[in-house]
């Protein structure tokens, strides 16, 4: 019988991280996949992200993707504009960064510009 050797703290952390990461990828649903498609190539307004996702809470799905790929995976910029009442307003636009694209490709969730 062979004696078991305890894992180092680094090995244990890496293993646990991989399990959590794999679980997160398995939980990636159609809403997240549609959001990835919407923000993969260019800036996408919050309103258009909502349409792509099929809900009215696209920032929730942006946050889920950031938790999976890192905060720097999705960029946000605020755009100045005018609303229908001719008042100044601002809205957010999202875009997948190069780093985010690389991470999604490493996870097998994005192949070039095609999203799984």
- Which CATH number fits the domain that encloses residue 46? 1.10.10.10
21 lies in a domain?
A: no
pTM score, whole prediction? 0.71
Counted domains in the chain? 1
The reported pLDDT for the residue numbered 19 is 44
The residue whose two tokens read 């609303």 is 83
Q: Six-digit token pair at 23?
A: 């679980």
Q: Summarize pLDDT for 35-82 with one digit per residue, the tens.
A: 999 999 999 999 999 999 999 999 999 999 999 999 999 999 999 999
CA separation for the pair 54, 82 (Å, rounded): 25
95 lies in a domain?
A: yes
Distance of CA 100 to the CA centre of its chain: 7
Q: Six-digit token pair at 115?
A: 């999203």
Q: Six-digit token pair at 99?
A: 């780093």
Q: The domain containing residue 34 runs over which residues?
A: 30-110
The reported pLDDT for the residue numbered 18 is 43
Across residues 89-97, what is the average pLDDT?
Answer: 96
16 lies in a domain?
A: no
7 lies in a domain?
A: no
Q: Summarize pLDDT for 17-32 with one digit per residue, the tens.
A: 444 455 555 568 899 9
DSSP letter, residue 91 = E
38 lies in a domain?
A: yes
């Amino acid at each position: 019988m062979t004696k078991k050797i305890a894992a180092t703290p680094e090995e244990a952390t890496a293993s646990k991280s991989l399990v959590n990461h794999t679980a997160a990828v398995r939980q990636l649903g159609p809403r997240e996949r549609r959001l990835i498609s919407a923000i993969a190539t260019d800036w996408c307004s919050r309103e258009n992200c909502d349409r792509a996702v099929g809900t009215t809470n696209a920032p929730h799905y942006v946050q889920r993707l950031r938790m999976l790929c890192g905060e720097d995976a999705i960029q946000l910029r605020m755009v100045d504009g005018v609303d229908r009442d001719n008042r100044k307003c601002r809205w957010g636009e999202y875009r997948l960064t190069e780093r985010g694209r690389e991470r999604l490709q490493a996870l097998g969730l994005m192949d070039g510009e095609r999203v799984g």
